[in-house]
Amino acid sequence: MTEARACHSGDVESVRRLHVNFFFLTQSKHGWQCAETRANGTSRIGEWVVRGALKFIHVIEKRVTFYNETEARKYTQNSRMIEIQTQMSERAVELLSLPEDQPCFLLDVGCGSGLSGDYISEQGHHWVGIDISSAMLDVALEREVEGDLICGDMGQGIPFRPGTFDGCISISALQWLCNADKKTHSPPRRLYCFFSMLYSALARGSRAVFQLYPENAQQLELVTAQAMRAGFTGGMVVDYPNSAKAKKFFLCLFAGVSGVLPKGLGTESAEQESSRHVAFTNQRMRFKLTRGKSAKKSKDWILEKKERRRRQGKEVRADTKFSGRKRRPHF
């Protein structure tokens, strides 16, 4: 955590020395380019273009537009989007299993306007966000988020020194690497480039949690395979798998040290839940031909319905000895 404290000391040069390779701007007929000089003395010319303003270094990829200013403001001002983003960020940070009462240095991939970063700051952690949309980052600057921002394509990797971060989260961003927006884009290659550089930037024993919306099972296999190829261990955590609306996919990865994969919410089996109750009823069956199903309005039928709604992530009252009991007739 020495590097994390130095990052927020206010010394810009120390931040660059600790976390990023040195960047030098060169101007050509095609515009501004950036020569990257690494610690071992090697250098290369990349498509990272530096833009300075905050405590950190700001990088923007040339001629790339995803969210324009209007759409970025609509996204940030939508109360429903803010609620969903906060809930998923809370779940992602929970899956990181960070130490309690200790500030950590986190990376937010696809940070957008900083909605996820707001929750990270509320938990007392420090963060750096990277996003490809400069319009979204401009909104984040106007909102005066506490984290530092980088604008760049995560498919080209992330420019940080090894062992910089204590964890990484990403909300609704990783699935875009599965698309080939240009002829030169290869989804497997871009995924491997991202995961390999992220693996290096994470401290040993840390985690990375990605919330994503996969189109199909093939995308899940592609993303997971490239992550494992880069050195990660872990797998997919699915919350509320029996619900169409509340179902969420989280890719939970371990860097350096293998861990126990967390269980998804709402995945407790019906057998384990039903074993907590005594299967007894003195009520006469209303229908003889039920084909193995519980009679409607019976105690078993009520308990099965409540269990089904629990698996769907809905709020259900706790079971008591009065659940399914027939009421006395009125006077």
Residue 287 has pLDDT above 60, yes or no: no
Residue 59 has pLDDT above 50, yes or no: no
pLDDT in tens, 147-176: 999 989 999 988 899 999 999 999 999 998
pLDDT tier at 190 (50, 70, 90 boundaries)? very high
105 and 216 in one domain? yes
pLDDT in tens, 99-114: 988 999 999 999 988 9
pLDDT tier at 22 (50, 70, 90 boundaries)? very low
Distance of CA 76 to the CA centre of its chain: 18
Residue 57 has pLDDT above 80, yes or no: no
- Helix or strand run (H / E) with residue 149: strand 148-151
Residue 17 has pLDDT above 70, yes or no: no
Residue 25 has pLDDT above 60, yes or no: no
Choosing from 227, 254, 281, the residue where a domain stops is 254
pLDDT tier at 7 (50, 70, 90 boundaries)? very low
Choosing from 194, 221, 254, the residue where a domain stops is 254
- The per-residue pLDDT for 49 is 35
pLDDT in tens, 32-44: 344 443 333 333 3
232 and 134 in one domain? yes
3-state secondary structure of 48: strand
DSSP letter, residue 10 = S
Going by C-beta distance under 8 Å and a sequence separation of 6 or more, which residues neighbour residue 33?
25, 26, 27, 45, 46, 47, 49
pLDDT tier at 82 (50, 70, 90 boundaries)? confident
Q: Higher pLDDT residue, 104 or 276?
A: 104
DSSP letter, residue 293 = P
pLDDT in tens, 298-328: 888 888 888 888 888 888 888 888 888 877 7
303 and 205 in one domain? no
- Helix or strand run (H / E) with residue 192: helix 187-201
pLDDT tier at 199 (50, 70, 90 boundaries)? very high
Structural domain including 122 reads 49-254
Choosing from 222, 254, 286, the residue where a domain stops is 254
Average pLDDT value for residue range 217-245: 92
- Name the residue with tokens 């929750």: 119
- The per-residue pLDDT for 331 is 60
Q: What is the pTM of this model?
A: 0.63
Nearest to 274 by CA among 238, 225, 323: 323
Q: What is the mean pLDDT of the chain?
A: 76
Number of domains, the chain: 2
250 and 279 in one domain? no
Give the Cα separation of 171 and 42 in Å (integer): 34
275 and 235 in one domain? no
276 and 194 in one domain? no
143 and 217 in one domain? yes
Residue 228's alpha-carbon distances to 47, 125, 155, 239, in angstroms, are 27, 28, 17, 22
